[in-house]
Structures are given as C-alpha cells and as structure tokens.
Amino acid sequence: MRVLVVGGGGREHALCWTIAASPLVEALFCAPGNAGISADAVCVPIPAEDLDGILRFAREESIDFVVVGPEAPLVAGLVDRLEEAGIKAFGPTAAAARLEGSKAFTKDLCARHGIPTAAYGRFTELGAAEAFIEGRPLPVVVKADGLAAGKGVTIAETHDEARAAAREMLAEERFGDAGREIVIEEFLAGEEASFFALVDGETALPLATAQDHKRVGDGDTGPNTGGMGAYSPAPVVTEEVAERIMARIVRPTVAAMKAEGAPFKGVLYAGLMIEEGEPRLLEYNVRFGDPECQALLVRLASDLLPALVATADGVLDMFDLRWHDDAALTVVMATKGYPGDYARGSAIRGLDALSASGDVNVFHAGTTEEDGTIRAAGGRVLGITARAPTIATAQRLAYRAVDRIDWPEGFCRRDIGARAID
C-alpha cells in the first residue's frame, strides 16, 4: 500500500514509526511531517489544513490509504473530500467529527441518549449566560463550543470569573467563531482518564488505556497545555471501569451517531472523569491523543495498518488487537516559555546516541533539521517514550534518556506518571 499520514506532531511521528514497520507498506509519506518523521516517511511540505493540496498529492502519488492525525482537517471535511475522490481514509467525516468540533452538539447528543456527562446549558447570548451562571454551584466550567486548541475551557472558582470568561467568548470574540456559542457546565470531581476505541461506524474496539498530564508544571500546576506527558495503562481504568465506559458511553455514542445519520469511523477518544468507579464524559476527541498515542503505540504488538484499514472498511467486528503486557511512558520536552511565548531555532544535541542505545523512542513533535543539526521549531518538541514491565521502570528509563539530551532551552515535567506509581 501507498500510505499518507497527515500531520506533523509527535502523534504523527508515532503513527509513521508504527505504520512504517508494517509489511503491507510499499511507500509512506507524511504531510507535512517533521525532522524526526523523515526517518520513517517521506515528508512533503503540505500543511495538514491544506485540503486541496493533500487531495492533489494523494491523487498524483496514487495513495491507497490516508491516515489523518489532527482534528482540524477532520472537522474541515478532509475525509469527505478523499472519499469523494475514491481514496480510502482513516478518520471521521465532517458530520461525525462534530463530536469534537462542537461541544454543544456532543452535550445535546448525550442528553438525547442518556450518556452520563456534566449538567449543562448552551448559550449564544451573554445576558442569558450570565443569568444561568448566577446561583450555579462553584466551580463552574465555561467552554467555547468549537475548536480552540485546548485553550477554550475555563474552570471558574467565582461567579465573576465565570461571567468574565463568558463575556470574553461571546462579546469579545476571544476564540472567534469557536466561541460564538458556549457551554456552561457543572464541575465534575474525580480522576481523569483517556479512553480510546477504534470505531468502524458500528463496532467499537477498545484500545489500551492511557492518561496524560495537561498542566505545564509539576504536581499538576500552572496553565493547561496540549499534554506534557502520558502513560499507559491508566490504573484508574480497571477492567470493570473499562466495561462501564464501553457500555454506558462509547457504544451508546456509536449507536446514536449511526441512528442520527452520521456514523462515526476512526478513533474515538473519550476524555472522562472517574469518581468511585463511575465514568462520566468530559469531552470527545475524534483522533488519537497527543502524547497518549506515543505511549499507546509502543505497547501495540499487532500490525496497526490492517486495523486502521478495517476501521475504514467497516469490518472491525472480525478484528482483534494484541498488546504487550509492558507499560509505557512518554515525557514531553518543550521549549522554555511554552505554553506562552517561546523562541524558535535552538539546537538540540545528543539525540543520535539515544536512538542508537535502543531503550527509548524519541518521537519528534516540533523539529527541523539544518545542516545535520536538529532545531526546536515549536512549543512541544520531543516525546521521550520508554516501554518497560512497570510504569516506574518506564519512568526511570524515560528520564535517564531526557537527562542525556543536550538542550539548554528545553524543559520537561519531572513527575510524569507519579499518580500511577504512588
């Protein structure tokens, strides 16, 4: 097969590394990819959001199968465009990607189908939003409806703070179109977990569990980020909890999307809050988590590519995946200043020796290569991923590798996995 992966982050590096190992692959391309991905795939400089460019490339290169990594092209309809052109693709249509593209859509779907989630209201008028906020128990959660790159959620400790968040979104257009509608919801207590399932429109095949760390600082402090690290499995998701998640949340969602004429195909990522073993949905994403994907894929023993193709073909019911018993852990290294402003272009040294040592995978997220030097080109830059019999050992291996990387302008959290180890 001639395969194209769309995206250029750590998730796409893990996807390319995994897919490149499949005996089914004749050629592997990545658009746009990054300096690390170029070891596994031919990188082509087409941005993931350039739907026309990707379609043209897929036609010209006779691509058999496209795997879409990030949410933006999914929500914009890349899979619809590829399918119209007769090119098979992994990922949901635009109609099904509303599960991530509109929080209000997802909340209403949950309400119609009895899927457990936080109580909520949806608003386009500031006055009505302010009236709803008044008297709500604190904290209260205010969310932009659309895609806001992980920045559209405010957990307000006071009613004033909640009103200010609503005002910024509805009146000051802080998130543009994404904030023209907002969801105001109940705060859920508990422990967060991510749950992933391949879904072919009808059948859901659960993947291994994972957990990420969203805050920038040790001890889960500081602003939210895309994710500073992850580990798999997530101990909070016991087999019993996983079965509840499938029975009460994932399968009802898959059935509801099919019944409502927008069958979901791709990877469904449920962000959950788990309290005393009872899961409730925080949000859906319609793609692999980043960096959860990196920790998940190093644990996969089966060939990923036929599973992705079976998902697109709607034949997952005949499919099974095998996983290594080992745990895995990813430490993200980011440029100092992230998630705020940061400088680009600093040199990263010591990576060659690490790849040669073979105990970790260094997945690149935002890197370029100039004259043989790897340079930081983004906020999140590397995902150092180790697989080992326990999370504690994987953590030790990952940090030993981090300490061998010579990159004074970079930083990482030092406590990835701590909750799973205590």
Q: Which option in ligand GLY, ligand AMP, none does residue 187 bind, with CB closer than 5 to 8 A by kind?
A: ligand AMP
What is the number of the residue whose Cβ is closest to ligand AMP? 283
Hey, how many other C-beta atoms are within 10 angstroms of the C-beta on 275? 11
- Identified binder of ligand AMP from the candidate list 15, 66, 96, 118, rule CB under 6 A: 118
CB of 56 to ligand AMP, least distance (A): 33
Q: Which is nearer to ligand AMP, 80 or 283 (CB)?
A: 283
For 3, residues 6+ apart whose C-beta sits below 8 A from its C-beta are 19, 25, 27, 28, 29, 63, 64, 65, 66, 67, 305
Joined tokens for residue 216? 């920038």
CB of 212 to ligand GLY, least distance (A): 4
- The answer to whether the beta carbons of residues 333 and 384 sit under 8 Å apart is yes
- Identified binder of ligand AMP from the candidate list 271, 303, 392, 404, rule CB under 6 A: 271
Q: Which option in ligand AMP, ligand GLY, none does residue 185 bind, with CB closer than 5 to 8 A by kind?
A: ligand AMP
Q: Which is nearer to ligand GLY, 87 or 295 (CB)?
A: 295
Task: Find where tokens 């043209």 sit.
Answer: 56
What is the number of the residue whose Cβ is closest to ligand GLY? 227
At residue 87, the 3 state secondary structure works out as: coil
Hey, how many other C-beta atoms are within 10 angstroms of the C-beta on 296? 29
Q: Which is nearer to ligand GLY, 285 or 367 (CB)?
A: 285
Q: Which option in ligand AMP, ligand GLY, none does residue 145 bind, with CB closer than 5 to 8 A by kind?
A: none
Q: Quick one: angle between helices 126-133 and 159-170, nearest 10?
A: 160
For 291, residues 6+ apart whose C-beta sits below 8 A from its C-beta are 10, 11, 212, 227, 229, 230, 330, 332, 363, 380, 383, 385
| Sign of the CA dihedral running 286, 292, 294, 300 | negative
Q: Which is nearer to ligand AMP, 81 or 122 (CB)?
A: 122
Q: Which is nearer to ligand AMP, 179 or 201 (CB)?
A: 179
283 binds ligand AMP (CB under 6 A): yes
Q: Which is nearer to ligand AMP, 53 or 217 (CB)?
A: 217
188 binds ligand AMP (CB under 6 A): yes
307-346 residues in contact with ligand AMP (CB under 6 A) are none
- The answer to whether the beta carbons of residues 13 and 363 sit under 8 Å apart is yes
Q: Which range in 10-18, 42-50, 182-190, 313-321 contacts ligand AMP by CB under 6 A?
A: 182-190
Summary count for the chain: helices (H), strands (E): 15, 24
- The answer to whether the beta carbons of residues 282 and 306 sit under 8 Å apart is no
153 binds ligand AMP (CB under 6 A): yes
Task: Return the closest-CA partner of residue 388 out of 308, 251, 295.
Answer: 295
- The answer to whether the beta carbons of residues 67 and 90 sit under 8 Å apart is yes
- Identified binder of ligand AMP from the candidate list 110, 274, 282, 308, rule CB under 6 A: 282
192 binds ligand AMP (CB under 6 A): yes
**Separation of alpha carbons 389 and 328, rounded Å:** 8
Per-residue DSSP letter, 176? G
At residue 377, the 3 state secondary structure works out as: coil
CB of 417 to ligand AMP, least distance (A): 17
292 binds ligand AMP (CB under 6 A): no
Backbone phi and psi for residue 378, each to the nearest 5 degrees, phi listed first? -165, -170
- Identified binder of ligand AMP from the candidate list 76, 77, 187, 396, rule CB under 6 A: 187
Q: Beta strands 42-43 and 27-32: pairing type?
A: parallel
Strands (E) across 256-305 are located at 265-275, 278-285
Q: Which option in ligand AMP, ligand GLY, none does residue 188 bind, with CB closer than 5 to 8 A by kind?
A: ligand AMP
**Separation of alpha carbons 182 and 142, rounded Å:** 7
CB of 290 to ligand GLY, least distance (A): 4
Q: Which is nearer to ligand GLY, 210 or 362 (CB)?
A: 210
Q: Which range in 43-51, 184-192, 338-346, 390-398 contacts ligand AMP by CB under 6 A?
A: 184-192
**Separation of alpha carbons 181 and 184, rounded Å:** 10
- In angstroms, what is the C-alpha Rg of the chain? 21
132 binds ligand AMP (CB under 6 A): no
Number of residues that bind ligand AMP (CB under 6 A): 12
Residues that bind ligand GLY (CB under 6 A): 212, 226-227, 285, 289-290, 292
270 binds ligand AMP (CB under 6 A): no
Binding site for ligand AMP (CB under 6 A): 118, 141, 153, 155, 185, 187-188, 192, 214, 271, 282-283
